[in-house]
Amino acid sequence: MGLLDRFKESKAIRCIEAALRDPKGVPEAVPAARRLRDTGAERCVPVLCEAIAQGAAPLQIEAARALGAVYRRHADKRVLECLNTTILHERQPSEVRQAAIESLVEILDVRHAGSLIEVLKSNRSPIPVRSAALRALKQLGYNESVERLVEACLFGKRLDPTGAIRKWATNELIAVDDHDKLAKIFEIAHGRRKLRYRAISPDAEGPAPLVLLMARVDPKGSMRYLNQMVDDANPAIRTAAADAIERIRGGGLDAGSTPTA
């Protein structure tokens, strides 16, 4: 970094520090954070982390973007710690958490995407943050998106009283480009595929909602599985499969509706 760039970096850091002391300086601090995104070095990491923790939302968003760019030039572990903390902080505005997700996905691989998975597993994650985490995981090549979406579909009324998360997850499952997704749901219903939800949820239901979920995700494609399940040893699966077949044939099963029995 040349002398001119160091001078500009110092000026940008002072500008952000001033805005953290006095919010009136935010309009000047936002472009300062953008300058650090372009040329900032390791010494700007602390002030950017502080901006995310204490700044106004517009400054937080630019600081998150800047941290990702700085990390690509200087792999400072403080950047990862700050972005992960921001993603998991439920009191942070959704748009700030989304910016942190978008920044983080550019600088790590799926082995270090634990915070993104936690967002999907939590019933308290807002839909926009949840969607951003899912997009990021897809970008990273995460291969258990179907399982995480099925977990969300199984949130009961206590965890998801409005059904918004379950409806979001069902719609996302419909959109998932995975020709094995029905087979995966079938395996989950029969306990042949690991599903963290069953171990952590106090109101986890039996397999019946999964049978109906399969039918909603792909009514036509699910018929071959449903026809197998009407003879299943589990009475809950048999009943749910017969009900799903009847609904599909009667045109009364709406794709994307909440998967309840």
Average pLDDT over residues 12-19: 96
For the domain covering 1-142, report its CATH number.
Answer: 1.25.10.10
Band (110; pLDDT cuts 50, 70, 90): confident
Band (261; pLDDT cuts 50, 70, 90): very low
Band (88; pLDDT cuts 50, 70, 90): very high
CA–CA dist 198, 230 (Å, integer): 24
Please give the structure tokens belonging to residue 155.
């949130």
* pLDDT for residue 199: 62
Angle between helices 208-217 and 219-229 in degrees, nearest 10? 150
Q: What phi, psi does 192 have (nearest 5°)?
A: -100, 5
Whether the CB-CB separation of 213 and 185 falls below 8 Å is answered with yes
Whether the CB-CB separation of 136 and 101 falls below 8 Å is answered with yes
Average pLDDT over residues 183-196: 87
Start-to-end CA span in the chain (Å): 62
**pLDDT higher at 235 or 197:** 235
CA–CA dist 143, 180 (Å, integer): 11
pLDDT digits (tens, 9 = 90+) for 141-176: 999 999 999 999 998 888 899 999 999 999 999 999
CA–CA dist 236, 88 (Å, integer): 37
pTM for this model (two decimals): 0.88
* pLDDT for residue 206: 77
Please give the structure tokens belonging to residue 51.
């901006």
Please give the structure tokens belonging to residue 238.
């048999």
CA–CA dist 64, 68 (Å, integer): 7
* pLDDT for residue 257: 54
Cα dihedral 183, 184, 185, 189, rounded to 10, equals 100
* pLDDT for residue 203: 67
CB count in 10 Å sphere of residue 42? 14
Band (197; pLDDT cuts 50, 70, 90): low
pLDDT digits (tens, 9 = 90+) for 32-68: 999 999 999 999 999 999 999 999 999 999 999 999 9
Domain segments of the chain: what residues? Answer: 1-142, 152-261
Is the pLDDT score of 195 beyond 90? Answer: no
